Amino acid sequence: MATQKVATLKPIQGPDKNATYPAKPFTLDETILRQAILDSAAVFVGMTEINNNNDAPWITKINRYNGLPIRSAYCASGYYYAHRVNGVKLPVRALGAVASYFSTTGKIIYRKNQRGNQRLGVMPRRMDAVSIYTSHIEGLVSDVWDPDDEFVTLIGFNTSGGRGTKYGCYINRRKKSEIKFIANWLTPYLATLKPP
């Protein structure tokens, strides 16, 4: 039986001087890494804001970890956090700005057009960035994209769980018609790390 070598990753210092980040992903296996990113986001599911004002210790932790003001809107910050704690440093221009995740045409794999939604490239996968509403980002939960299903399951920060709930982190079923874009940042990022 062969033993597998596990590299120890030396943490690096992040924008929050008390936070450390893994220097690189713990694995280059994209399926395993996507699941780990989802698992890191799912830790927060059901946690809510105290007064619906981006105010809770867990929100402060996420925003501080990313070097953002503690009461910043945290949908993009939470999405980035789930990647960063797994050693993935997405090359977005402004990690707290939703538009940054959908401003690079080469990363867009799905877009809403006048005739409905259209897939442009590879099938969407778990934790691809999903743009909904005016300026909101969530992560795709399922790793199987069904083009015929009119709903999709997403995990989101700074969102509600439905009528009458406080804002926080939830898993929600959304109509595909609400999706503006889906971007795949992880596949190209991992390609830069793999030996030729």
Domain boundaries, the chain: 28-193
As beta bridge partners, residue 159 has 168
User: Rounded CA gap, 21 and 28, in Å?
Assistant: 17
| pLDDT for the residue 195 | 81
Q: What is the pLDDT of residues 35-64, one digit of tens each?
A: 999 999 999 999 999 998 999 999 999 999
Do residues 142 and 152 lie in contact, with contact meaning Cβ atoms separated by under 8 Å? Answer: yes
Tell me the CATH number for domain 28-193. Answer: 3.90.1720
As beta bridge partners, residue 151 has 175
Give Cβ neighbours of residue 158 (< 8 Å, ≥ 6 apart). Answer: 54, 73, 74, 75, 78, 136, 167, 168
Q: What is the pLDDT of residues 5-32, one digit of tens each?
A: 333 334 444 455 566 778 899 999 999 9
As beta bridge partners, residue 181 has 111, 131
Give Cβ neighbours of residue 94 (< 8 Å, ≥ 6 apart). Answer: 100
pTM score, two decimals?
A: 0.87
Q: What is the pLDDT of residues 152-195, one digit of tens each?
A: 999 999 998 877 678 999 999 999 889 999 999 999 999 999 88
